[in-house]
Amino acid sequence: MVKFFRHIRLSLINQNKMGKYFKYAIGEIILVVIGILIALQINNWNENRKDRLLIQSYYKQLLDELDSDVSTIKFSISRLQNDIEAYNNLKKETSNPNLSIDSVLIYHQNAVFDLENTTFNTKTVSVMQSTGDIRLLPSHIRNALINLENEQKSHLDDFKGRLDLYLAIFKELDFLETFSDLDIWKNNKALSNRLNIQERQLEELPVLIKALKIKNISNKRNKLELNNILNYTEELIRFIKKEMD
């Protein structure tokens, strides 16, 4: 092909047809440029196709993780609500002289050693951030991912602070402080007798009461934060599904 075009140019020069030669040369340049542009366009089309396939793959992975998070969050919220209700019921029942001591002890044991924590799936987002592929996502989905990540991180940081405070109480078994709740226990003679509360046990009782209070406050805060995270998660799921349609 190159030899063919070269032959035409030489023929025009030999025939002293310089005007036609320049026109032909310009036409040849234009054809070369058009060929380059077409090649670039095809290459861009192939790259865009690869990006679209990659994005679809990320969307599927994100949906799997987000759906799993929704189930986990809803389960955690349900547990928190049950624990909050159990704490409120226990406070009401402490004035009942016929209160079952077994139910009190079981609740105390669970309350002291069980503070609900929730983990989130972030593997796909981490991969996209490390590879730079997150730039391929539409801005509204990218922003939704960032907002969700910030909410999750804020919740986990706050939870750690509440957990540290909660656990620190048990390092202070000799800690004495006046709590209004303590009067409930002291005034309930039947319950006090059944518990066989001695003076030493009464001194340590405020620590347990404080633990229950902090756990209940933490449960309420966790529930509020998880509901916010649930809203962000479900919104992101809607965005992704709309992009996949």
176: helix, strand or coil: coil
In a domain, 72, yes or no: yes
Residues 6 or more apart whose CB falls under 8 angstroms from that of 240 comprise 59, 62, 63, 66, 141
What residue numbers bound the domain in which 153 lies? 63-244
Tell me the per-residue pLDDT of 96-135, one tens digit each, with 9 for 90 and over: 666 555 555 555 555 545 566 789 999 999 999 999 999 9
What region, left, alpha or beta, does residue 121 occupy, with left being phi > 0 and alpha being psi -120 to 50 degrees? beta
Distance, in Å, from the CA atom of 207 to the CA atom of 11, rounded to the nearest integer, reads 105
In a domain, 67, yes or no: yes
In a domain, 214, yes or no: yes
The count of domains in the chain is 1
Q: How many alpha carbons fall within 13 Å on the CB side of residue 242?
A: 9
In a domain, 137, yes or no: yes
pLDDT (tens digit, 0 to 9) for every residue of the chain, 245 residues total?
Answer: 445 545 555 554 555 555 554 555 666 667 777 777 777 777 677 667 787 889 999 999 999 999 999 999 999 999 999 888 888 877 776 666 665 555 555 555 555 455 667 899 999 999 999 999 999 999 999 999 999 999 999 999 998 888 888 778 766 644 434 334 545 555 556 555 555 554 455 555 566 677 778 888 889 999 999 999 999 999 999 999 999 98
In a domain, 24, yes or no: no
In a domain, 106, yes or no: yes
In a domain, 7, yes or no: no
For residue 216, give the nearest of 80, 106, 54, 98 by alpha carbon. Answer: 80
Any idea which residue has 């990006």 for tokens?
51
pLDDT at 73: 96
Q: What Cα–Cα distance (Å) separates residue 55 from each residue in 91, 111, 128, 144, 236?
A: 53, 45, 10, 16, 15
Q: Are 208 and 169 in contact (CB under 8 A)?
A: no
pLDDT at 55: 94
In a domain, 50, yes or no: no
pLDDT at 56: 94
Distance, in Å, from the CA atom of 68 to the CA atom of 62, rounded to the nearest integer, reads 10
